[in-house]
Amino acid sequence: MTSETIPLGGSRFEVNGEVLVGLPSGAAWWPATRTLIVADMHFEKGSSFARRGSLLPPFDTSATLSRLEADVAALAPARVISLGDAFHDPFGPERLEPGARARLAALQSGREWLWIDGNHDAATVAEIGGERASEAAIGALVFRHEPAPGDTLAAIGELAGHLHPAARVRVASGSVRRHCFATDGRRAILPAYGSLAGGLDLAAPAFAGLFAAERLVAHLLGDARVHAMPARAIVGFGISRDGTGRRRASR
């Protein structure tokens, strides 16, 4: 696959001049550097809930690893970056079953692997391979877990996670809600990659001020492709009819 190829079903977008592709899996592909980027995998979320007495199906780590294995097999990345909250709690690595640990080690073999610390897993001490950092700058892009405040220089070139973006958009038959990539060309926030991770609507207060509303595009994850939708199609986001102003979003 050449650096110009858009993977099947992907949606192209730019951040600070760098071309990225949002994939149906929820990962982002940076073709110029052969880097695969994922956010909020939340490995061992099911076992974390079980420790507190709330039983969830214990298959989330395996399902998320399967998705990651498929992306790695398709793209053969030279580098993988996890944008934080790879594990649902700091003790998640200790609960990894031997088979899951072996699968993770196989994914890491022969490539760079960078774990960005998240709010759920920053205190992780168990050895999980790869390198760790609170954030990283590579070329024109900056990789961190939590988005920087909206109107700051720190937001330029940012790829972040944490907020689990989702959007409900208007379609001919009514509306549909999906996890999504959110970007205005200055920064992008990636959807949660984990099989048990939820999504927060872009119209929610947590996203206020993070994007230039008139340039925001939500790249919705479909079953086999990613669909780019302008801000005016997002239910509750509040773009005026001329597309240049943001009304008060519904809450």
| Structural domain includes residue 191 | yes
Question: Cα–Cα distance between 1 and 34 in angstroms, integer?
Answer: 10
Q: Could you list the residue range(s) of the whole structural domain that residue 170 is in? A: 11-233
d(CA 126, CA 89): 12
Classify residue 241: in a domain, yes or no: no
The whole-angstrom separation of Cα 175 and Cα 172 is 8
- Tell me the pLDDT of the chain averaged across its residues: 88
* Mean local confidence (pLDDT), 194-207: 93
Please compute Rg for the chain using Cα positions.
18
Rounded CA separation 192/181 (Å):
9
Q: Residue 218 is encoded by which pair of tokens? A: 């939500």
Residue 246 in any domain: the answer is: no
Percent of the chain whose pLDDT exceeds 70 = 88
Tell me the pairing of strands 226-230 and 217-221.
Answer: antiparallel
Evaluate whether 162 touches 84 at the Cβ level (below 8 Å).
yes
Is there a contact between 64 and 71 (Cβ–Cβ < 8 Å)? Answer: no
- The pLDDT, as a whole number, for residue 1 is 53
- Higher-scoring residue by pLDDT: 243, 31: 31
Look at residue 251 and tell me if it is in a domain: no
Structure confidence by residue, pLDDT tens digits, 167-183: 999 888 889 999 999 99
Q: Is residue 238 part of a domain?
A: no
End-to-end CA, the chain: 43
> In which band, very low, low, confident or very high, does the pLDDT at 206 lie, cut at 50, 70 and 90?
very high
- What CATH number did the domain enclosing 158 receive? 3.60.21
Banded model confidence at residue 110, pLDDT cuts 50, 70, 90: very high
DSSP E strands in 70-212: the ranges are: 79-82, 112-116, 131-133, 135-138, 141-144, 158-160, 165-171, 174-183, 187-189, 200-201
Q: Is the residue at 114 inside a domain?
A: yes
Would residue 6 count as lying in a domain?
no
Strand, helix or coil for residue 141:
strand
Domain count, the chain: 1
The model's pLDDT over 21-72, given as tens digits with 9 standing for 90+, comes to: 999 999 999 999 999 999 999 898 877 766 766 666 778 999 999 999 999 9
Is residue 243, in this structure, part of any structural domain at all? no
Residue 159: pLDDT above 80?
yes
Q: What is the rounded CA–CA span in Å between residue 170 and residue 161?
A: 25
